[in-house]
Amino acid sequence: MRIGELLIMNGLITEDQLEKALQKQTHSFKKIGEILVEDHLITERQLAEALEFQLGIPVVNMDETVPNRSTIQLIHEALARKHCFIPIEQMSGKLKVAMVDPLNQEAIKDIQETTGMIIQPCIATRSELEMAIIDHYGVLSSVKELNDIIEYAVQQNASDIHLDAEKDGLSVKYRINQMLEKQKVITNDLKESIIGRIKTIASLNASKRGLPQTGYIHKEAYNTDYDIRVSTIPTINGESAVLKLIDRTDQLLKLSVFGFTENNLKQVESAIDRRSGFVLISGPAMSGKTTSLYSILDHINHQKHKIVTVEQSVERRLDGITQVEVNDSIGFNFTNGLSTMLNQDPNVIMVSHLEDTQTVEASTRISLSGRLVLGSIHGKDAVGTIRRLLDMGIEPYLLATSLTCIVNQRLVRKVCERCAKSMPASDEESKLFEAHGLVPTDDAKSKSAIGNFRSFVTTNKSSKIAVVRGDGCKLCNNTGYKGLIGIHEVLTIDDELRDMILQNRPAEAFREHLEGKEFQTLLHDGLTKVKEGITTVDDVLTNIQ
C-alpha cells in the first residue's frame, strides 16, 4: 500500500489533500511524505510511524538514543549530512543506522563502502536527525573551535564576535574598541557545524536555516560568567551569526564614571531624580545609548520604585527590574508594549527604541501622567533630536510639556596608558582648542600629567598645547587605544526652550539661543577629554561627523 493511501486510511489526510500534494510533487524532486509535512498536513512523527507500518522498518526516537563516540566516528560528518543519517549502534559486523529515508540505496552503499559493515536501517524524523548530527559531530569537531573563538574574544575584551558566512568559509571578526578586526577564516567543512552548535546551545531551532533567530548562551571563561546574546541570519553563503558578550560579574557603569563632566552629570541626575518627565539618550548606532540607559536604571533602581523596560532585545538582565522584549511577529510592538506596561503600575519605564511617531507619542503622554520615561533615539546632536521629533509629527505642546532632558553622546577610544606619549598639538588641533576656549594657562599646563614622564617634560618645554597619543604596544594590539569613554552634550529643557518648541522653531534658532549659555557641545566635551590626555582629536572628530 502506498504511503498516501495509508495516511488516508488512517484519517490523517483527505483524498483532496493527497491529490493537491501529488500535483505539487510533479514540480519538485521531493517525496510525497515530505510535501505533506511541509504543508503541515501531517507531522514528521506521523510520517515516520506510517513508514514503519508500510515498510516494517522500526522507528527510533533520537531524543532517547545516545550513540557512543566510537560508533559516531565510523562515519564522516560530511557523509552523515549529505544523506541525513546517523550511526547509532554497532555489533558483530552490523551497523544500525537511523535514516530519514531507509530506502536510500545510495546512502546505504556509501555507508557499507566506508565501514565494511552490514547496514541495518531504522527510521527517524529529519529534524531529530539534523539535531543529532549537530550535537554529536559538533561535539567532536567544532566545540573546541567555538571555545577558542569565544575565549579569544574574552582575552581581547571584545564586545562582539561576527561570524560571517562567505563563499570560502566562515569569517571570524571581533569588535574591539568599536573597531571590527578580522582574525581568521574557518573552512567550509566546519562552517555549518559551528553555526549549528551555536544555535543548539543558544536553544534555537537548528533545523530552521531560512529565518533569523535570537537567543542566549551562558558561558564561563577565565573565572568570569558571561551572557552571550546570539543573533543568526540566513545569507546567500549560508548562515551568519553575531555573538554579543556581556560580563555578568561586571558592575554596570556608574554615571559618575561614564565620562560625564561635573556639570553634565548634575543635569542628568537632576532630570532622573525628578521621577517624572521624558529623558532621551540620543546618538548614532554603537554610541553607547543602551549602556547609558542601563546605567540610569541602576542609579534609580531600589525597592521604592517599580521599573519596567520595553526592549528590542534585552542586552543585559537587571535584577529587580521587569524587562520585556517586543515581538513584531506576534503583533507585540513598542506601542502596545507600552500600553501593556501601564497595567504593571510602573514608576519608571525605559523604551529601548523610539523610532516611530506612535511610540514617541505614547511615551510623551505616559510621562505626563507623573511617570519617568527613558528612551533612546537616533540623533546627530541634542538640537537635531528636538527637530527630528517635531518633524516626525509629534505635537509641539506634547513635546514641550513632557521633555525634560536630552543627552547626546558618542563613544571614543581611550589612549592606551601603557604606550601613551605626550607631543605638541598640530596647528589644526591648536586652532580647535583656541576656538573652544580650551587653551590652558601656564599654571594649568604645569599641573597636567599626560603621557609618560619623559615625553611630557619634553613637550611641556614647547610653547604648544600638549596632546597624547599611543605609540602602539602588545597590550593594545598596536592600535594605541585601549578601552572606551563617553563624550556628551546635555541639554536641559528650560522655559525658554519650551516656548521655542511650542513655536516649532528651526534648528538654527535653537543653536543661536544656546550660544553663550552654559550648554557645552559634543565637540567641546571631546576636546576637553583630549586636553586631559584621555583620547585624541582624530578619534573625537571621526565619531562626531
Q: What is the pLDDT of residues 227-260, one digit of tens each?
A: 899 999 999 999 999 999 987 766 656 787 788 9
Q: Quote the CA–CA distance of 489 and 510 in Å, as a whole number.
A: 14
Provide mean pLDDT across the span 18-25.
89
Side-by-side strand order, sheet with 94-99: 85-91, 94-99, 118-123
Q: Quote the CA–CA distance of 488 and 536 in Å, as a whole number.
A: 15
Q: Cβ(272)–Cβ(279) under 8 Å? A: yes
- Backbone phi, then psi, for 339, in 5-degree steps? -60, -45
DSSP state of 327: B
Predicted pLDDT at 496: 95
What is the pairing mode between strands 481-492 and 169-176? unpaired
72-78-84 Cα angle (round to 5): 75
Where is average pLDDT lowest: 135-149, 339-353, 394-408?
A: 135-149
Q: Where are the beta strands (DSSP E) in 264-318?
A: 277-282, 307-311
Whether the per-residue pLDDT at 388 is higher than 90: the answer is: yes
Neighbour tally for 113: CB within 10 Å: 8
Q: Quote the CA–CA distance of 430 and 426 in Å, as a whole number.
A: 6
Q: Quote the CA–CA distance of 33 and 22 in Å, as a whole number.
A: 10
Neighbour tally for 11: CB within 10 Å: 7
Where is average pLDDT lowest: 21-35, 99-113, 483-497?
A: 21-35
Predicted pLDDT at 462: 57
Q: Quote the CA–CA distance of 104 and 525 in Å, as a whole number.
A: 69
Q: 520: number of CA atoms within 13 Å, CB side?
A: 20
Whether the per-residue pLDDT at 447 is higher than 50: the answer is: no
26, burial (CB in 10 Å: exposed 0-12, middle 13-18, buried 19+): exposed
Q: Quote the CA–CA distance of 422 and 533 in Å, as a whole number.
A: 8
270-271-276 Cα angle (round to 5): 125
Whether the per-residue pLDDT at 124 is higher than 50: the answer is: yes
Predicted pLDDT at 449: 44
Where is average pLDDT lowest: 61-65, 139-143, 436-440, 505-509?
A: 139-143
Q: What percent of the chain has pLDDT over 90?
A: 54
Whether the per-residue pLDDT at 349 is higher than 70: the answer is: yes
Q: Quote the CA–CA distance of 121 and 103 in Å, as a whole number.
A: 8
DSSP state of 419: T
Q: Quote the CA–CA distance of 493 and 502 in Å, as a whole number.
A: 12
Where is average pLDDT lowest: 87-96, 205-214, 402-411?
A: 205-214
Q: Quote the CA–CA distance of 260 and 374 in Å, as a whole number.
A: 18
DSSP per residue over 224-241, as a string? Answer: EEEEEEEEEEEETTEEEE
Please name which of 78, 90, 85 lies closest in space to residue 101, comparing C-alpha atoms: 85
Whether the per-residue pLDDT at 505 is higher than 70: the answer is: yes
Place of cell 515498510: 55
C-alpha 386 chain-centroid distance: 27
Q: Cβ(325)–Cβ(317) under 8 Å? A: no
Q: Quote the CA–CA distance of 544 and 380 in Å, as a whole number.
A: 8
List 176's β-bridge partners, or say none: 179
User: Is the pLDDT higher at 516 or at 344?
Assistant: 344
Cα–Cα distances in Å, from 242 out to 150, 158, 171, 219, 220? 12, 12, 11, 15, 18
What is the pairing mode between strands 348-351 and 372-377? parallel
Whether the per-residue pLDDT at 320 is higher than 50: the answer is: yes
Where residue 137 falls among pLDDT bands split at 50, 70, 90? confident
C-alpha 172 chain-centroid distance: 16
DSSP per residue over 112-179, as a string? Answer: HHHH-SEEEEEE--HHHHHHHHHHHHHHHHTHHHHHHHHHHHHHTT-SEEEEEEETTEEEEEEEETTE
Q: What percent of the chain has pLDDT over 70?
A: 92
Which triple of cell numbers denotes residue 81? 549530512
Place of cell 601656564: 442
Predicted pLDDT at 398: 95
Q: Quote the CA–CA distance of 41 and 33 in Å, as a whole number.
A: 10
Q: Quote the CA–CA distance of 533 and 480 in Å, as a whole number.
A: 13
Provide mean pLDDT across the span 321-340.
86
Q: Cβ(12)–Cβ(46) under 8 Å? A: yes
